[in-house]
């Protein structure tokens, strides 16, 4: 994966003019807009109808993609088609519509298995989103041993004195569930600190692994506040050396990086559909099949049982064991369409990718998407730097296009309101990361988060709106 690296010493953005080059993660040099695939990715903006919306009389400049991404027309159409022509409940039926809906739903599971490069389609658990996926894992490890199926080794419930490592940059969704699990089991949550640059402190991480009976490492793939991309493969390798499992919050990464769970080496990986141009209310928990088979179910009800008597219930095999009740069928279908859309994005605009072609197409699409986003990130950082009184928080070595900043004399909520009056949508507040806010020494920030469909002109509108806010509040 190509992703621009900013060292601590040279965190300032680089200006890219015609003919300039930039250094990629693999060490090679690339010129902006050097390929047809990059141009095709940029043209993908036209696939998103909401981006033509006017806000307060101004064209929408949507810079809030870390909160949710917009949906291409193909995803909207696919969901509409399901409800208009294919709607039925799935499984346990013999009529035509239910058989058809079941096939489409299971095809969606196959598409998501390809999207993350899972070992097996049965490792894909559909749920409401990343938050529910993490809660499913945390709840299992806080459950008593008698609910587990043959627990052993890494895969067994937490007990008194076990340690759960959680990074300081985590979203509350990957912290609070572990606090609850610790309270139920007698385990202890300890923080993996971050450096002043916003990177994980790997020396401290290794020391924590060596000095504590660590059972679980919970870490985000990418920070939703400062964009830090964590080295999941290395973190997992080190954790496994100490018999700990690794649970990854992938919510921010899935729209920017080609996820390969086999290569990452984590034990669980959770993400949400709405963060990757899919519907809300749907997500995926990927887990190693042996782990999922050992764990107790998170919820119980119809569809997840094998046999029920008045005295005892036995559970279905995975993935059904973790999908109690009627699932979000349309959401799963829409999410699969979003995955196909991303796979086809840089491949000639030939329409959503078929499942058998998805993996190789994903690699090429994300390579081009990354070039586009890195150029946007560099432009944004360069444009923000000279704004008087503005401070960008965090200078991570490896950064997604997510930028948090504070502005002297202007509260983030006031700034966000003024930006909105200019049609510029950003996110303000603590971003569900209160421990990280404390580490950064601020109560709240303004966050601009970019996607491939954003433009240089929208970044300039952000800067103009910030300067208007400074003038409004009398800042010199």
**Which of 336, 266, 321 shows the shortest CA–CA distance to 122?**
321
Distance CA(143)–CA(130), nearest Å, equals: 20
Q: Would you please indicate which residues are annotated as catalytic (active-site) residues?
A: 432
DSSP-derived 3-state class of residue 274: helix
Lookup: tokens for 441: 């020494």
**Euclidean distance between CA atoms 227 and 199, whole angstroms:** 10
Q: Which residues contact 10 (CB under 8 A, 6 or more apart)?
A: none
Contacts of 340 by beta carbon, 8 Å cutoff, 6+ apart? 74, 111, 352, 353, 354, 358
Measured CA to CA in angstroms, residue 273 lies from 387, 405, 432, 454 at distances of 35, 27, 19, 20
For 264, the enclosing helix (H) or strand (E) is helix 261-264
Residue 431 near residue 381 (C-beta atoms within 8 A): no
219, 234 Cβ separation under 8 angstroms: no
């Amino acid at each position: 994966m190509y992703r621009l690296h900013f060292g601590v010493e040279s965190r300032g953005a680089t200006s890219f003019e015609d003919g300039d080059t930039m250094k990629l993660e693999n060490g090679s040099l690339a010129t902006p807009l050097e390929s047809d695939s990059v141009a095709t990715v940029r043209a993908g903006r036209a696939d998103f109808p909401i981006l033509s919306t006017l806000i307060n009389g101004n064209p929408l400049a949507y810079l809030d993609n870390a909160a949710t991404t917009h949906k291409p027309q193909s995803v909207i159409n696919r969901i509409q088609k399901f409800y208009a022509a294919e709607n039925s409940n799935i499984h346990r039926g013999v009529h035509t519509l239910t058989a058809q809906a079941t096939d489409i739903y299971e095809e969606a599971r196959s598409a998501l298995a390809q999207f993350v490069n899972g070992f097996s389609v049965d490792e894909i658990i559909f749920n409401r989103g990343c938050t529910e996926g993490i809660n499913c894992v945390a709840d299992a490890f806080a459950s008593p041993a008698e609910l587990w199926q043959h627990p052993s080794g890494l895969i067994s419930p937490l007990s008194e004195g076990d340690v759960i490592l959680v990074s300081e940059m985590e979203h509350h969704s990957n912290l609070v569930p572990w606090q609850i699990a610790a309270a139920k089991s007698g385990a202890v949550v300890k923080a993996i600190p971050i450096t002043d640059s916003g990177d994980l402190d790997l020396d401290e991480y290794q020391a924590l692994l060596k000095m504590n009976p660590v059972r679980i490492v919970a870490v985000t793939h990418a920070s939703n506040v400062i964009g830090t991309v964590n080295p999941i493969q290395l973190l997992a390798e080190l954790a496994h050396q100490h018999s700990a499992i690794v649970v990854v919050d992938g919510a921010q990464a899935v729209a920017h990086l080609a996820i390969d769970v086999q290569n990452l080496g984590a034990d669980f990986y959770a993400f949400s559909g709405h963060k990757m141009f899919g519907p809300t209310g749907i997500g995926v928990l990927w887990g190693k099949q042996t782990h999922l088979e050992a764990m107790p179910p998170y919820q119980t009800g119809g569809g997840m049982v094998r046999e029920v008597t008045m005295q005892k219930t036995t559970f279905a095999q995975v993935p059904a064991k973790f999908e109690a009740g009627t699932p979000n069928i349309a959401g799963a279908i829409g999410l699969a369409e979003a995955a196909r859309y991303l796979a086809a994005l840089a491949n000639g605009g030939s329409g959503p990718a078929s499942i058998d072609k998805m993996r190789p197409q994903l690699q090429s699409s994300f390579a081009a998407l990354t070039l586009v986003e890195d150029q946007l990130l560099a432009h944004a950082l360069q444009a923000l730097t000279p704004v008087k009184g503005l401070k960008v928080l965090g200078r991570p070595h490896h950064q997604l296009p997510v930028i948090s900043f504070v502005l002297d004399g202007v509260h983030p909520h006031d700034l966000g309101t003024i930006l909105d009056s200019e049609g510029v949508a950003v996110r303000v507040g603590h971003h569900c990361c209160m421990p990280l806010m404390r580490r950064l020494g601020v109560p709240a920030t303004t966050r601009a988060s970019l996607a491939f469909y954003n433009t240089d002109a929208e970044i300039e509108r952000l800067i103009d709106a910030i300067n208007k806010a400074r003038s409004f509040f009398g800042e010199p």
